C-alpha cells in the first residue's frame, strides 16, 4: 500500500496571507508527483506535474517544489485570495500504472 | 470543460441492484482511470485501462468490474449494490504514464 500523506488536513487563512502545504510520498520507485486543485462541486484539475528532483513549478501565485530523495513536495500560495479556497491534492506515480492520491489539504481563505 | 464525459451524473438505486457507469475519455487519450470518493475519504483508485488493456487494479471489490472498449470509452459495472457503495465515482483520462489526469464531472451514486 502506497502512503501519500498531506498536511495540514485543513487550513484557514486571511486574504493576503501566504501559505504552504506538504505532501510526503515514498522515496523509492519515484516516477512523477502531481498537484491538483479541487473546488467544491467541481472536478479536480491539474496544477503541476513534477518529475525531476529539485523541480520547481510556478503558475501565477502558486508554486511547488519537489524533493524525490527524501520524498516530499511543498505547494506554496502567495497572497491568498478567496478564490483560492479549494482542496489541494497531491498524487504519487511510482513504478506501477496507478496514480495514488493523498487525502488533500482543504484551504479556506477568509475575505 | 475537461473533455471527459461521464454519464449519468446522478444515479439512485436500491440495494442488490446492478448499475453501469460510462466514461468517454478526452479525444486522443488512451488511458482511463476510475476513482471512488466515499464520504470523508479521499480519491480511492479502482482501476486503470490503457488502450483496452487493464494496467493496474486497486482496492476494487469483486462485485465491481470494468472494461475499456475499442472506441476507448469505458464502463464501470457495480453489482449486488450495498449501502456502502454510495459514493462519487470519477473517471479520468490521460495521454500516457505520468501525464496529468483530466477528470470527468463524476457520477453520484446513491444506494438506498
Residue of A31, A43, A46 lying closest to B106 (CB–CB): A43
DSSP string, B27-71: TT--EEEEEEE-TT--EEEEEEEETTEEEEE-S--TTEEEEE-TT
Is the predicted pLDDT of residue B2 greater than 90, yes or no?
no
Residue A89 to residue B43, Cβ atoms within 8 A: yes
| 3-class secondary-structure state, position B21 | strand
Q: Is A2 on the interface with B (CB under 8 A)?
A: no
Q: Report pLDDT digits (tens) over A64-83.
A: 999 999 999 999 999 999 99
Pairing of strands A10-14, A105-110: parallel
Report how far apart, in Å, the C-alpha atoms of A97 and of each of A11, A88, B95 are. 32, 22, 13
Q: Report pLDDT digits (tens) over B34-80.
A: 999 998 788 999 999 999 999 999 989 999 999 999 999 999 999 99
Mean pLDDT value across residues B92-97: 92
What does the pLDDT read at residue A97?
A: 87
B100 to chain A: which residues are within 8 Å by CB?
Answer: 34, 46, 49
Interatomic CA distance for residues B90 and B76, integer angstroms: 10
What does the pLDDT read at residue B12?
A: 97
Residue B43 to residue A93, Cβ atoms within 8 A: no
Other residues' Cβ atoms within 10 Å of the Cβ of residue B69: 10
Residue of A32, A43, A89 lying closest to B98 (CB–CB): A32
Shortest distance between the Cα of A1 and any Cα of chain B, in A, equals 10
Q: How far is CA A55 from the centre of its chain?
A: 14
Interatomic CA distance for residues B95 and A29, integer angstroms: 21
Contact map slice: B 38-57 vs A, CB within 8 A: 41-43, 45, 48, 50, 55-56
A1 pLDDT band (50/70/90 cuts)? Answer: low
Residue of B45, B100, B106 lying closest to A34 (CB–CB): B100
Q: What angle is formed at CA A64 by the lines to CA A58 and CA A67, rounded to 5 degrees?
A: 135
What does the pLDDT read at residue B59?
A: 84
What does the pLDDT read at residue A95?
A: 85
Check if the beta carbon of residue B8 is closer than 8 Å to that of residue B104: no
Q: Report pLDDT digits (tens) over A9-52.
A: 999 999 999 999 999 999 889 999 999 999 999 999 999 999 99
Is the predicted pLDDT of residue B96 greater than 90, yes or no?
no
Interatomic CA distance for residues B90 and B47, integer angstroms: 11
A85 pLDDT band (50/70/90 cuts)? Answer: very high
User: If you search the block for the grid coordinates 441492484, which residue do you land on?
Assistant: B17
Report how far apart, in Å, the C-alpha atoms of B93 and of each of A92, B26, B33, B61, B102 are. 16, 6, 6, 21, 5
What is chain B's length? 112
Check if the beta carbon of residue A90 is closer than 8 Å to that of residue A46: no
Instruction: Kindly state the cell numbers that stand for A28.
Output: 523509492
What does the pLDDT read at residue B41?
A: 85
B3 pLDDT band (50/70/90 cuts)? Answer: very high
Q: What percent of chain A has pLDDT over 70?
A: 98
Q: What is the mean pLDDT of chain A?
A: 95
Is the predicted pLDDT of residue B26 greater than 80, yes or no?
yes
Amino acid at each position: 500500500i502506497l502512503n501519500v500523506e498531506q498536511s495540514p488536513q485543513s487550513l484557514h487563512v486571511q486574504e493576503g496571507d501566504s501559505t504552504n502545504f506538504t505532501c510526503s510520498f515514498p522515496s523509492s520507485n519515484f516516477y512523477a508527483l502531481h498537484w491538483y486543485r479541487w473546488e467544491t462541486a467541481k472536478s479536480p484539475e491539474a496544477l503541476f506535474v513534477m518529475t525531476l528532483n529539485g523541480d520547481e513549478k510556478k503558475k501565477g501565485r502558486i508554486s511547488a517544489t519537489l524533493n524525490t530523495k527524501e520524498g516530499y513536495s511543498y505547494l506554496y500560495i502567495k497572497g491568498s485570495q478567496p478564490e483560492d479556497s479549494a482542496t489541494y491534492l497531491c498524487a504519487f506515480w511510482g513504478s506501477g500504472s496507478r496514480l495514488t492520491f493523498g487525502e488533500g489539504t482543504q484551504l479556506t481563505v477568509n475575505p | 470543460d475537461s473533455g471527459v464525459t461521464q454519464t449519468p451524473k446522478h444515479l439512485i438505486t436500491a440495494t442488490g441492484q446492478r448499475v453501469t457507469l460510462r466514461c468517454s475519455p478526452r479525444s486522443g487519450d488512451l488511458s482511463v482511470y476510475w476513482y471512488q470518493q466515499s464520504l470523508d475519504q479521499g480519491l480511492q483508485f479502482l482501476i486503470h485501462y490503457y488502450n483496452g488493456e487493464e494496467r493496474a487494479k486497486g482496492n476494487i471489490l469483486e462485485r465491481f468490474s470494468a472494461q475499456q472498449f475499442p472506441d476507448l470509452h469505458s464502463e464501470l459495472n457495480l453489482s449486488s449494490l450495498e449501502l456502502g457503495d454510495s459514493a462519487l465515482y470519477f473517471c479520468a483520462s490521460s495521454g500516457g504514464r505520468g501525464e496529468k489526469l483530466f477528470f470527468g464531472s463524476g457520477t453520484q451514486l446513491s444506494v438506498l
